[in-house]
A and B are shown apart, each in its own frame.
Chain A
Amino acid sequence: MREWMGGLRAWLTERLPAIVYVVWAFFYLLMLSGGNYEAFLQSRFWVLMALGAGITILYVASCLARKPFSGRGHRFGEAGAWVRASLLILPMLFVWNAWGDGLGTYALSKRFIRLTTMAMTDKEKQTDAVAPDNSAPVEASVLTLVRDPKQYVGKRVYTEGIVYRDEKVPKDHFVLFRFVITCCAADAQPVGILVHAENVEKLKNDTWVHAEGRFVLREFDGTLTACIEAESVDTIRVPAGKDQYLSN
């Protein structure tokens, strides 16, 4: 029995590099299929996934083309080979935990700096004179509302995002935010707007909502901030991982 176990161990050690590359090749193909990678990366990065799959398949072929018992796995010593393989496979363990999930208020609490609007001159920030527009609401992402507020001031809009509230936010308000990805979720930056509505105290952090109402600019925490005077706020289902982020 001991001999058989020893033989199996030697056989496995020999094939560890091939096993690692097979796992990664499979993983990259899985990420590519149906755009699963978009739960972690920008959509344009399919090229990276294809590149990863291509090279790992090439490495699998290289490992399989070697003579049996060539010593590939043993090249780094038995312990060295197992440590290297375990570390290279380690991310798979975390994929299991991250699958279908997105960044939420915990990440927001670490990455948030302040609510702000961009690309507006002082004159454009004077919104008192803007006449309300009563036409049908238009769809606008949180990012668009923050980046290009002047286009929407006075108009009826609807948008979706995650609820966040802390002691700074008044009871009849909450922050509606999304994460914006430049390359991957590690660089995801939160962008948020205020939502003012009645009976929203019960909304818990991390809830996904659809908010609809008039878009205005309002002074909050010393900054002119994008805000929706909401006519309705409805809870919605958490979108699939790949639909949770906005792109820069």
Chain B
Amino acid sequence: METNLECCPVHEDAHGPQSSRIAHLIQGGFVIAAFGMMVFLRDRSLVRTLSITFISIVLEALPFMLLGTLLGGLIEVFVPREKLAALMPKRRAITVLIGAALGAIFPTCECAIVPVVRSLLRKGVPLGAAVAYLLGGPIVNPLVAASTAVAYSFNWPVVVIRVLFGYGIAVAVGFWMDWRFKDHHDALLPAVANHADVHCCCPGRDHLDHHDGRDEVSGVAAFRAKLASAIDHAADEFFDIGRFMIIGAFLAALLQTLVARQTFVAAIAGTPALAVLLMMGLAVSLNLCSEADAFVAASFRATVVPLSAQMAFMVLGPMLDIKLLLMYLPVFRRRAIVMLAAATTILVFVSMLIMGVFWK
């Protein structure tokens, strides 16, 4: 049975057929290697610890991602592009400023935010605003602020600094991405950048012309059809991008299992710049949830790790980690991911060094 799917960019393989074949080979190899590990090494302490850590990350992150895809599907079908455009401020700079603060009203964790941002970008939300929401949402967030307060024994300046730096860096990277990629097609995959201009003709889809939110049927029947279509889209979306979260979670669990935190502490002694850098590396490799990372950062308080390095861990982690980098693959072109990661890393590093000078 052959089906022609080329008409619908939502379901295109993200980086072209050649690249997709290579990706399938790598991903297939990854599955076989993981299977081999389970069959031959399952009784080792290392593999048992890896299994528990991996399952924990997946169990916690997957419902958020499922929710994110569902929200993305609802946005896809129920939010017309024209209405969204009318709602947005005319000045792009203001959309970036608002985007970075949206997490304060809609607290979303980093796993749920990626599918939502993918849908928003398809609906024509400016790149800078979407990036600002992507980076700022998981930090500028009341739940994260509360967990940071508890972890740091209600040391409120720590909470305020974390939220302010999170917001400031999200805004700065949002502006920079907007400026660097004036044509958003250079930053986004065709499936994301072009979507608003096409009509879906996926086989088996009886649904409405949902991608631009226009009604062709009225009343309850139309609502039901749109709802079914939204869930349909969401199910496809998750089946498509869920694998990146699984691979990211596995790599994060592997690093958590192999790397001893004590070695970081030992390497850091007396070198603030190295401390910031190493704690940033730890944040990228541990892939902790933004509501939990403050507790891990706080565990370094009684050590030689300075507060600026703890803050670097708490600011960078929700913006950039292995799992997130892989989850960005179905949204951005690789060059844009590199730019986004580089800008975020440099800004966090420099701002934390400056913070370290003024507040020890």
Contacts and interface: CB of A to CB of B under 8 A. Distances in A.
Binding between chains A and B:
yes
Interface of A: 10, 14, 16-17, 20-21, 24, 31, 37, 40-41, 45, 48-49, 51-52, 55-56, 58-59, 61-63, 65-67, 69-72, 74-77, 79-80, 83-88, 90-91, 93-98, 101-107, 109-114, 116, 119, 182-187, 189, 223, 248
A135 B1 CA distance: 79
Contact of B66 (A51, A77, A183, A189): A51
B13 A10 contact: no
Contacts of B202: 71, 75
Contacts, number: 226
13 contacts: A51-B63, A51-B67, A67-B206, A72-B204, A75-B236, A76-B13, A83-B27, A88-B246, A104-B45, A113-B302, A113-B303, A185-B55, A187-B288
Contact of B56 (A16, A17, A40, A51): A40
Interface in B38-60: 38, 42, 45-60
Nearest to A70: B204
A155 to B, nearest CB: 24
Given A187-B289, A248-B295, 4 more contacts: A51-B66, A76-B13, A94-B50, A183-B291
Contacts of B11: 75-76
Interface of B: 1-3, 5, 11, 13, 20-21, 24, 27-28, 30-31, 34-35, 38, 42, 45-60, 62-64, 66-67, 70, 147, 150-151, 153, 202-206, 228, 231-232, 234-236, 238-240, 242-243, 246-247, 249-250, 252-253, 256-262, 265, 286-289, 291-293, 295-296, 299-300, 302-303
Tell me which of B35, B38, B52 has the highest count of chain A C-beta atoms within 10 A of its own C-beta.
B52
Interface of B is mostly: helix
Nearest to B259: A110
A80 B205 CA distance: 20
B38 A84 contact: no
A184 B24 contact: no
Contact of A87 (B147, B243, B288): B243
Nearest to B289: A183
| Of listed B56, B291, B299, residue having the most chain A CB within 10 A | B56
Contacts of B256: 110, 186
B13 A77 contact: yes
Given A62-B228, A88-B242, A184 B59 contact: yes
A116 B302 contact: yes
A70 B203 contact: yes
B48 A83 contact: no
Contacts of B63: 48-49, 51-52, 55
B27 A87 contact: yes
Contacts of A112: 261-262
A40 B59 contact: yes
A62 B232 contact: yes
Contacts of A21: 235
B107 to A, nearest CB: 14
Contacts of B204: 66-67, 69-72
Given A97-B47, A98-B51, A106-B49, A10 B296 contact: no
Given A83-B31, A98-B52, A91 B1 contact: no
A48 B59 CA distance: 8
Given A75-B3, A94-B51, A95-B55, A106 B45 contact: yes
Given A97-B48, A113-B299, A182 B292 contact: yes
